[in-house]
């Protein structure tokens, strides 16, 4: 079966600095995977490469077997891959509702997600719909960022560090929405520093260090020790 | 000459400056691009209207309707092919390129139309006027004022109430993230410059029917447009209208005292506003 998304030996560069050294991951349809690792491990770079913000080799990223590595961000979105960027990156000149509507700018088909659907997922956003997006609390802003990405009706949702800087109780609220996002048929890639949260949400986990995958396997089969070793440096482990 | 009449004439003149400035304000607001060729593009549009009026015998208003889509296309292509390449962290390339463009336009117009002063004839409308009590207002200047208000209202509706306007603002905030939303910033910028050129065409209509113009008239128009934008505050279209009006009123008041002081009075008003409110009268809250 062809994976929804696959990277093959993905390399990424910032100028002369190489940030990814041959990363292989795959996401099946309907699957939720997590990418964990310390700061500077290359998780965000991987997200930026997949979403088309960073250019890569055409064949290094495949969507249903089709090479998409060289496409720009709007074309990646047209393939059904939407991103919740690190730091939320809401548009400060736009209201909450306008931010959500921007997500539907190049909407694909007539999928499940509408303004109404997002307000049902995150009811607090309905009350704050006319506020400037940046006037909201961090957690509410994160909800807007997720809702904005959903508005494009993605088949694959990339979530980059959505719990960063948020209180644990707020993080729990946000992750509580994930079963419904999954139920809409979307596959999800989450990038997390919180290992516990990642193992809880994802069925498979990749651990990154220094631009490489150092460990991967099914969430329930990975031990804390293995993850600890992969996180902070050890040999490569593989579990299936 | 009554004081009220001077003020009214100043407001009407100022609305012409606001028309000059609206396109500049739009382009700057969306892509932080200062187009030094803006005045020359207004003059170019005026010559285009002149050709349509004298060559095809069209009425100036009809000529403007024909010229507007042509200028939109020219603006779109100019931005997409040339100016998009100059945008980046460095503010110098757009200034240099549009300065060069200004010289190219002036010289091309000189080559094609000679240095003679020209004028677009609007027939009987030119001398028509309407009386409001003690003040008599020329029909064309009044129409110019109403057009300026309509342009500002229209642009505001477009920017704050339409999907393309949302994309304008989102791209202006953060072009990379806008790309993640499926917006192609290069096309958004091209669309914005195209729209600015439609406004430029309207400005050219009232410039060409009100006063003489020649191929080198652009830079002075640019100065007035700049001053109107700065007085009003960067990024605010209503501010730009107010800025134009303040400039126009200052000029007619100066001229009422001594005709030699017209231009100087406008510049002094500009400097006074900068001194009191360096960010302009109505700066945009989010920068």
Q: Is A147 on the interface with B (CB under 8 A)?
A: no
* Binary contact (A74, B174; C-beta < 8 A): no
In three-state secondary structure terms, B202 is helix
Q: Is B170 on the interface with A (CB under 8 A)?
A: yes
Task: Point out the residue among B166, B169, B180 whose CB comes nearest to the CB of A77.
Answer: B180
> pLDDT tens for residues B124-181?
888 899 998 888 999 999 999 999 999 999 999 999 999 999 999 999 999 999 999 9
Segment 183-212 of chain B within 8 Å of chain A by CB:
183-184
**Hey, how many other C-beta atoms are within 10 angstroms of the C-beta on A97?**
21
Interface residue of B29, B156, B172, B181 to substitute, partner A, most A CBs within 10 Å: B181
Whole-prediction pTM: 0.91
Give the distance between the most distant pair of CA atoms in chain A. Answer: 52
* Binary contact (B177, A85; C-beta < 8 A): yes
Interface residue of B180, B184, B187 to substitute, partner A, most A CBs within 10 Å: B180
Q: Is A135 on the interface with B (CB under 8 A)?
A: no
Per cent of chain B over pLDDT 70 is 99
Mean of the pLDDT values across residues A100-105? 94
Nearest in space to A106 (alpha carbons), one of A73, A65, A142: A73
pLDDT tier at B240, thresholds 50, 70, 90: very high
Domain-by-domain residue ranges, chain A?
A: 5-238
* Binary contact (B170, A101; C-beta < 8 A): no
Buried b (16+ CB within 10 A) or exposed e, B145-177: bebbeebbebbeeebeeeeebbbbbbbbbbbeb
* Binary contact (A106, B182; C-beta < 8 A): yes
* Binary contact (A94, B170; C-beta < 8 A): yes
> pLDDT tens for residues A180-229?
999 999 999 999 988 888 999 999 999 999 999 999 999 989 888 888 88
Cβ neighbours of B160 in A, within 8 Å:
none
What is the rounded CA–CA span in Å between residue A232 and residue B241? 61
Secondary structure of A123-139 as H, E, C letters = HHHHHCCCCEHHHCCHH
Q: Is A98 on the interface with B (CB under 8 A)?
A: yes
* Binary contact (B179, A53; C-beta < 8 A): yes
CATH dotted code for A5-238: 3.40.50.300
Q: How far is A229 from chain B (nearest CA, A)?
A: 34
Q: What is the ipTM of this complex?
A: 0.91
Nearest in space to B104 (alpha carbons), one of B82, B71, B133: B82
* Binary contact (A74, B167; C-beta < 8 A): no
pLDDT tier at B286, thresholds 50, 70, 90: very low
Phi, psi angle pair for A21, to nearest 5°: -120, 70
Segment 54-73 of chain A within 8 Å of chain B by CB:
72-73
Alpha helices in B89-182 (DSSP H): 92-113, 139-161, 163-173, 175-180
Q: Is B287 on the interface with A (CB under 8 A)?
A: no
Query: Which is it for the CA torsion B204, B207, B213, B219, positive or negative?
Result: negative
Q: Is A92 on the interface with B (CB under 8 A)?
A: yes
What is the rounded CA–CA span in Å between residue A204 and residue B160? 44
Interface residue of A77, A93, A101 to substitute, partner B, most B CBs within 10 Å: A93
> pLDDT tens for residues B81-111?
999 999 988 989 999 999 999 999 999 999 9
* Binary contact (B179, A52; C-beta < 8 A): yes
Mean of the pLDDT values across residues B18-42? 94
Size of interface A-B (CB pairs under 8 A): 68
């Amino acid at each position: 079966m062809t994976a929804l998304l696959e990277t093959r030996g993905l390399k990424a560069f910032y100028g002369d600095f190489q940030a990814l050294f041959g990363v292989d991951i795959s996401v099946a349809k309907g699957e939720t995977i997590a990418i964990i690792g310390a700061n500077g491990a290359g998780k965000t770079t991987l997200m930026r490469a997949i979403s088309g913000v960073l250019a890569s080799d055409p064949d290094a990223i495949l969507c249903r077997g089709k090479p998409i590595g060289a496409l720009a961000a709007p074309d990646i979105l047209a393939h059904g891959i939407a991103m919740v960027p690190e730091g939320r990156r809401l548009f400060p000149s736009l209201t909450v509702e306008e931010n959500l509507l921007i997500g539907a700018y190049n909407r694909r088909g007539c999928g499940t997600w509408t303004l109404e659907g997002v307000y049902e997922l995150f009811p607090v956003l309905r009350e704050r719909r006319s506020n400037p997006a940046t006037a909201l609390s961090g957690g509410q802003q994160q909800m807007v960022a997720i809702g904005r990405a959903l508005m494009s009706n993605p088949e694959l949702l990339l979530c980059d560090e959505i719990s960063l800087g948020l209180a644990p109780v707020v993080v729990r609220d946000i992750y509580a929405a994930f079963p419904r996002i999954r139920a809409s048929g979307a596959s999800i890639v989450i990038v997390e520093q919180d290992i516990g949260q990642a193992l809880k949400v994802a069925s498979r986990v990749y651990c990154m260090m220094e631009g490489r995958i150092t460990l991967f396997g099914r969430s329930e089969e990975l031990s804390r020790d293995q993850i600890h070793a992969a996180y902070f440096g050890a040999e490569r482990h593989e579990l299936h | 000459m009554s004081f009220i009449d001077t003020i009214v004439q100043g407001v009407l003149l100022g609305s012409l400056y606001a028309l000059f400035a609206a396109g500049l304000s739009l382009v700057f607001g969306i892509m932080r691009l200062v187009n030094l060729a803006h005045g020359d593009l207004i003059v170019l549009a005026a010559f285009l209207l002149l050709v349509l009026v004298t060559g095809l015998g069209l009425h100036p208003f009809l000529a403007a309707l024909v010229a507007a889509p042509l200028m939109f296309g020219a603006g779109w292509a100019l931005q997409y092919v040339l100016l998009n390449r100059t945008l980046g962290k460095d503010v110098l390339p757009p200034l240099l390129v549009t300065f060069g463009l200004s010289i190219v336009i002036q010289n091309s117009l000189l080559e094609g139309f000679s240095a003679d002063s020209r004028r677009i004839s609007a027939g009987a409308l030119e001398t028509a006027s309407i009386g409001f009590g003690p003040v008599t207002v020329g029909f064309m200047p009044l129409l110019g004022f109403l057009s300026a208000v309509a342009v500002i209202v229209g642009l505001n509706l477009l920017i704050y109430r339409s999907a393309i306007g949302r994309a304008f603002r989102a791209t202006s905030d953060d072009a990379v993230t806008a790309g993640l939303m499926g917006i192609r910033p290069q096309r958004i910028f091209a669309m914005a410059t195209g729209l600015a050129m439609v406004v430029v065409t309207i400005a050219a209509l009232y410039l060409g029917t009100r006063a003489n113009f020649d191929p080198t008239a652009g830079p002075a128009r640019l100065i007035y447009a700049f001053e109107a934008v700065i007085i009003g505050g960067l990024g605010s279209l209503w501010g730009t209208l107010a800025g134009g009006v303040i400039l126009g009123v200052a000029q007619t008041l100066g001229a009422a005292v001594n005709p030699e002081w017209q231009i100087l009075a406008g510049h002094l008003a500009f400097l006074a506003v900068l001194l009191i409110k360096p960010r302009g009268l109505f700066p945009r809250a989010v920068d």
